[in-house]
Amino acid sequence: MDNPFEFPLDLPERGSRQRLAALHGQLRAAILDGRLKAGLRLPATRVVADALGVSRNTVVAAYDLLLSEGYIVARRGAGNFVADLAARRPVVPAKTLADRNERRLAPYWRHIDTMPAPMELGAFTCDFRLGIPDSRSFPYEVWRRLSARALRHLSNAAPLYGHPQGSPALREAIARHISFARAVACERDDVIVTNGAQQAFDLLARVLVTPGRTVLAVEDPGYPPLQEVFRAADAKVVGVPVDEEGLVVDKLPDDTNVIYVTPSHQFPLGVLMSPRRRMALLDFARSRGAVIIEDDYDSEFRYSGRPLDALQTLDRDGVVCYVGTFSKCLFPTLRIGYAVAPPWLRVALANAKYQADWHGNVMAQDALAAFVAEGHLVRHVRHMRKIYAERRDILLDALKRHGDGRLHVYPSDAGLHLAVRLPDSVDATQLAKRAAAVGIRLETLNSCALDSAAVNGLAFGFGMIDAQRIDEGIRRLVQLLDR
């Protein structure tokens, strides 16, 4: 006779004395994993016995065990039915359940209850968002050709994993490019390719932080995503004020272990760290055995004067780890950044990359290597610098004309945004909310500050906004300011 159940039952040989235990266990497992649904009528004991070739007493005993354990229920004159196990579970108050689940997480993650929102264009007529370049002028046809070439190369290569430090060709191209563009002294083996600058920060936190002991000093206001990475690693994050010469080195705590700075275009104020402060910062790190993370995120776009040497260029003691990204000069979805590590840090950082995700997208890295080596990057940056310079000039003029002296622009000669200090009588957060209601997207400086009361102002990104929208946006903003 056919098996009356819709799943196989594997019973031991006759005479093994394990047939009852096996039948009971397999039926219970089927109830627990849902193969036998709640409310289902079980086959009669005689039918099961005949089909499986066991005695009816064995099946009756198995059903009786399931009945005593609450897995099935008997209904007089109707037979045996699978019980509704959900009804037997105790009701746990929502707060108790949340607390119980929360304790399973590491402390940092217990109070995070929202998913990060994807960046979308939205319905803003004037979008001054930070950190987003204009990708409409990117040479996609060139990129398509180089990607196809990289794919052909991969199809002819051995199907192996890539190098944890990144494609050798890309590391070579990066070393040559930043040596030319930023005077960063490095070789191919000093470069570790990452999934954007954010992964570089994550890897640095993994290898530099001793939980509960490491002190990270950051610019205040500064770049929040970096701060959160180090908090997640259980570092103590301390804010250090910024003035028009950059990070105030004299305010660094004596017990600082790691220092994060954006010296070429401070985020979000945009100021340039002075040569005096740069040398003082290097002296501080050298004398205390601290590490400097130099984030050179959009220094390709400089509009006047000669760029100051990077901290890594001035470093003679191996205290600087230089981090860069292609997200600002090309397009964010590329997700390729890099770190130039001093010799003592390189092996640990490469192993952290290996443990995190082994390696990045080999095809994209090979395409980017060719893009850089064949001069397309330099030509694209030169082209975009002209476009951004025009938008920056329009923005500065509009702030001056419409602001009527009430909008103090922080000095800045590089990057894709400008910052403005508002009068004390104006609340930046409320002004940004009112602006959003009329289609103007802005970011406040206090959203980047550890001490939100320390800075009252707005940041204006000009990477993605059309030039003809800038004057209109500032004019309407000042009208809100007047109200």
pLDDT at position 156: 85
347-370 pLDDT, tens digit per residue, is: 999 999 999 999 999 999 999 999
Phi, psi of 90 (to 5 degrees): -65, 145
pLDDT at position 93: 65
Kindly give, in sequence order, each residue whose CB lies less than 8 Å from that of residue 22, ignoring residues fewer than 6 positions away.
Answer: 10, 11, 12
pLDDT at position 95: 62
pLDDT at position 124: 85
pTM higher than 0.85 for the full model? no
**Hunting for tokens 């980017």 — which residue is that?**
368
Domains of the chain, each with CATH number or no CATH: 19-88 (1.10.10.10), 126-130+379-482 (3.90.1150.10), 140-375 (3.40.640.10)
The answer, yes or no, to whether the previous bond of 43 is cis (omega within 30 of 0) is: no
Instruction: Find out whether 301 and 388 touch, Cβ atoms under 8 Å.
Output: yes
Q: pLDDT class for 434, splitting at 50, 70, 90? A: very high
Mean pLDDT taken over the chain: 92
Name the residue among 392, 386, 394 with its Cα closest to residue 471.
394
Name the residue among 121, 120, 98 with its Cα closest to residue 111.
98
